[in-house]
Structure 1
Amino acid sequence: MSLKSLFARLVERSPYRAVGADDQRSWLFLVAIHVGVSICVPLFAFGGQLGRHMSFVELVGAVLAGAALIVVLAFATGYVGMRARVPTAILVRQTFGERGAHVVALVLTLASFGWFGVQTEMLVNSIFALAHVQPSAGLRLILTFAAGALMSSTAIIGVRALGKVTYIAVPLLLLVIAVPASIALSRQDLAPLLMKAPPEAAYGFGAVVSIVVGSHMSTIAISPDLTRFLRTPRDVAAGTIASFAVALPVLLLLSALLAVVYGSSDLVAVMVAAGVGAPALIVIILATWTSNDKNLYESALSLSALFPRIERWQLTAIAALIGTAVAAAGIFQHFIGFLVLLGLAIAPVAGVYLVDYWMGGTRYADGAPIERLRVAPFVAWAGGSLFGLMTLPADSSGLGWLTLTTVPTLDALLAAALLHIVLSRLLGSRRAAAANA
């Protein structure tokens, strides 16, 4: 077998081709990917912050409620992905039309670039913190690009490599993270910790639910990228429940408990305080690798909608280069607010394609023609994004004019779905009247 043919068999090719029977997987594949993505420095910082704003006993109920809502939404979008057998960026071509999908794909790409850059920069900072080194600009640049090249290698290969990395990494991550938890619980009286009042200003139940759901709305919207590989609806249901109703609450509550015990939401600081500083480096690298693998993979899928003639693996390499450059530029301090606003633009995409898929009939069948621009879905997406901005509090860069569900990204999704139904019915009535006339 030639090197070229071996490369062709190893590397996942065009995302425009529907997933074949040989590429289909069980629900364990979805769980491994999601758990690998969830175990990362930002999630532990997120869970740790929740633990500092609500007592652990109260936090359990709020996290479980948020997880239940995520499961419902993720199953809905995941089921569409399993039925359509194409990634989100290709699916929305039927929803928004060729030109409309280009705008959607650009938004999805920007979000993936941003998260890759943020996580890579946090990885580099953690490595230097563990090594107790004050790096020069040159050394930081070298390590950033080395980390970007390492993490992009498996994403370039495709979903096969993603699965293998997570199957290896996830058990190791869970094992190493369990160490500081077991040490803490062996040294502490558990009951007072669970009832202890939060050390910082308390969050309400609804606020925590909205924070948990809102932080995963982008994952919900682009879940077809992974669920297209699942065999049956049962796999979608089992994988979604295990990922978001079991694994996610466990990880969030564990990180919250560690923050209460060690007085810090910094995973590196917690690992060092527990006396496992050396394994902490392995955890940080593997955790960032599994998370950024998915970021790169999804960015390449989105870029495929913009540049259909370029191979997916080549787009992945380009995405890795851009994401690494973003990390080297120090994007962390400037991009978080932008990512919040991007979330308001991504969530309505899911609302629109969910409604359109069930109303679309044969539009999503293989070989169905693609319109140049579909006005109703595009207007519904813009309207949903604007509504989310109106419900986003002013202190989070929103307008703060009204409140619906207390989850601005969910508000945007629901508004876009409802607006698409209304616009589709109106346009359908006008077409019917014109035909009769």
Structure 2
Amino acid sequence: MVRRDDSPATGVDTGVEAEAIDPDYPVTPVPAHARKTFFSLAVVLLGFTVFTPTMLAGAALGTAFSFGDLLLVVLVGSLILAGYVCALGYIGARTGLTTVVMARYTLGTRGSKLASILLGGTQIGWYGVIIGTIGTLTAQAFSWDSYAAEAAVMIAASVLMCLTACYGYRGMYWVSLISTPLILILAFWVVARSLEEVGGWSGLASAEPAASMTSAIAITTVVGTFVSAGTQAPNWTRFARTGRHAILACIVGFLIGNALMILFGAIGAITFGEGDFVLVLYQLGLVGWGLLLLFGNLWKSNADTAYAFGVAGAELFEKPSKTPFVIGGSVIGTVLALVGMHHHLEGYLVMLGIFIPPLGGVIIGDWIARWRAGMPEGASLPMVNGVNLAVYAVASLLAWLSDHCGVGIPPLIGIVTAIVLALVASRVSGTARPRSAAS
């Protein structure tokens, strides 16, 4: 039987659907009848990356570089991020599996728990950042001095986002479809006001940096904005009908959407001294529009985040439903928000940019070497793949040393090292499979 190169390759018969407790298939391949259109997938991924806290990273970059250098940094960082995510997204479409389930084939049935803890844990941290941001900015909008009122907003927002994530892919699609266009319209309007404030593009280009940052740290920050979420892109691209659709949707979300948000934050910082467009709208006296931007944007993004740690929890504890883990992770993330997790964003992004990319790199390299014909259910897998775990450790160490010594670009070093070492390890150990091998 001839199969198109970019069609799903799960190694299982998806013609007959087994009884599923969770319609989002958190621990099994997404069957052919449940796959989504390219438009649907692009809406979800763009809604995920059009994310206002990303503008805070852009604000840090905007005050540290001239506008020309800033564009170069954002372009390089976004290309690294998008290339990495496209590779993982393509594999997700081909296998129909989430990232953490694919890790079983790369790290072993027990070794994959590292991926579930690492990816699920970092997403819970992001969830806390977003919930805390909502509480803080709402309190600023209404000039609240009471922390109890701020905390109440955090808890209420968390409940709403948790419920959306429990509803699954369909819930995230509709929230993104409605809110993302409104948010982008507001963002471009604020950019236009910013240009009026600074004297047009020429005024923006002539602005002098007020701070300093190395290019390596800046690029790591750009990658770190969504590298944890990007590593889990297969959670959504597994619903793609073809690998090509997955790649294009990842480009829309992680190259275009994420780069725009970083640039929006940088422009806001240069012109208004404030990277978050919600606060810019507050300064312009448009509190209502600011709150609309805040809640519409963070609702859809955090629902995606909750979904990600939900499927990671389902794999970690080998349960067929994500819902209990969505709820549990939301509770933990809310507690982190209440204790001020969101005040440590920049350092958190650098950490993600160092330790998350090597994990995706190992999965990409191992898939190229061994699993291109499919990742079949019921395959004989070791409990722990010590070789690939060692590959991840070495790649992470080199990425950390790159950051510590200020040499190179840590995320790129982590990704490339992990891919190359995983390929070499498979060749040396004799476990590599030819492309034409049957599952």
Scaled to the shorter chain, the TM-score interval is: 0.7 to 0.9
Which of 361, 382, 391 is the matching residue for 2:393?
382
- The one-letter amino acid of 1:355's match is G
CA distance in 1, matches of 2:329, 2:53: 21
Aligned pair 1:129/2:104, yes or no?
no
CA distance in 2, matches of 1:44, 1:338: 15
- The one-letter amino acid of 1:369's match is S
Unaligned segments of structure 1, at least 5 residues: 1-7, 394-399, 430-437
Which of 55, 72, 77 is the matching residue for 1:61?
72
Given the superposition, is the C-alpha separation of residues 338 and 269 from structure 1 closer, same or farther in structure 2, using an over 3 Å criterion? closer
Contact 2:49 2:226 in 1 (8 A): no
CA distance in 2, matches of 1:205, 1:332: 24
- The one-letter amino acid of 1:260's match is I
Displacement of 1:176: 2.2
Displacement of 1:78: 1.0
Displacement of 1:358: 1.6
Displacement of 1:19: 1.0
Which of 25, 42, 50 is the matching residue for 2:61?
50
RMSD between aligned residues: 2.5
Displacement of 1:13: 4.7
CA distance in 2, matches of 1:249, 1:169: 19
Displacement of 1:230: 0.9
User: Which residue number corresponds to residue 9 of structure 2?
Assistant: none
Given the superposition, is the C-alpha separation of residues 26 and 93 from structure 1 closer, same or farther in structure 2, using an over 3 Å criterion? same
Describe how 1:159-170 pairs up with structure 2 within 5 A: 159-170=169-180
SS at 2:86's partner residue? helix
- The one-letter amino acid of 1:423's match is A
Given the superposition, is the C-alpha separation of residues 345 and 253 from structure 1 closer, same or farther in structure 2, using an over 3 Å criterion? closer
TM score, norm. by length of structure 2: 0.86
Contact 2:314 2:320 in 1 (8 A): yes
> Any idea what the Cα deviations from partners look like across 1:208-260, whole Å, max 9, x if unmatched?
44432343332332221111111112212321222233333333223322222
Most deviating of 119-128 and 284-293: 284-293
Aligned pair 1:146/2:156, yes or no?
yes
CA distance in 2, matches of 1:188, 1:340: 30
Contact 1:344 1:385 in 2 (8 A): yes
Contact 2:22 2:321 in 1 (8 A): no
User: Which residue number corresponds to residue 328 of structure 2?
Assistant: 318
Contact 2:52 2:297 in 1 (8 A): yes
Which of 28, 35, 42 is the matching residue for 1:31?
42
Contact 1:272 1:280 in 2 (8 A): yes
Contact 1:114 1:339 in 2 (8 A): no
Q: Which runs of structure 1 show a deviation greater than 4 angstroms over 4 or more consecutive aligned residues? A: 8-11, 202-207
- The one-letter amino acid of 1:108's match is L
Contact 2:21 2:321 in 1 (8 A): no
User: Which residue number corresponds to residue 414 of structure 1?
Assistant: 416
> Any idea what the Cα deviations from partners look like across 1:91-122, whole Å, max 9, x if unmatched?
10111111101122111111011000111011
User: Which residue number corresponds to residue 228 of structure 1?
Assistant: 238
Unaligned segments of structure 2, at least 5 residues: 1-18, 432-439
- The one-letter amino acid of 2:261's match is L
Which of 18, 28, 33 is the matching residue for 1:22?
33
> Any idea what the Cα deviations from partners look like across 1:297-345, whole Å, max 9, x if unmatched?
0001111111123621222112112211221222234676456435433
Given the superposition, is the C-alpha separation of residues 236 and 363 from structure 1 closer, same or farther in structure 2, using an over 3 Å criterion? closer
Given the superposition, is the C-alpha separation of residues 47 and 339 from structure 1 closer, same or farther in structure 2, using an over 3 Å criterion? closer
Contact 2:309 2:326 in 1 (8 A): yes
User: Which residue number corresponds to residue 4 of structure 2?
Assistant: none
Given the superposition, is the C-alpha separation of residues 222 and 13 from structure 1 closer, same or farther in structure 2, using an over 3 Å criterion? closer
Given the superposition, is the C-alpha separation of residues 182 and 297 from structure 1 closer, same or farther in structure 2, using an over 3 Å criterion? same
CA distance in 1, matches of 2:215, 2:388: 34
Displacement of 1:162: 0.7
Displacement of 1:71: 2.6
Which of 250, 264, 274 is the matching residue for 1:240?
250
- The one-letter amino acid of 1:95's match is T
- The one-letter amino acid of 1:424's match is S
Aligned residues: 412
Describe how 1:271-350 pairs up with structure 2 within 5 A: 271-309=281-319, 311-333=321-343, 337=347, 340-350=350-360
Aligned-residue sequence identity (percent) comes to 26
- The one-letter amino acid of 1:412's match is G
Contact 1:57 1:194 in 2 (8 A): no
Displacement of 1:428: 3.0
Displacement of 1:11: 6.2
CA distance in 1, matches of 2:139, 2:168: 30
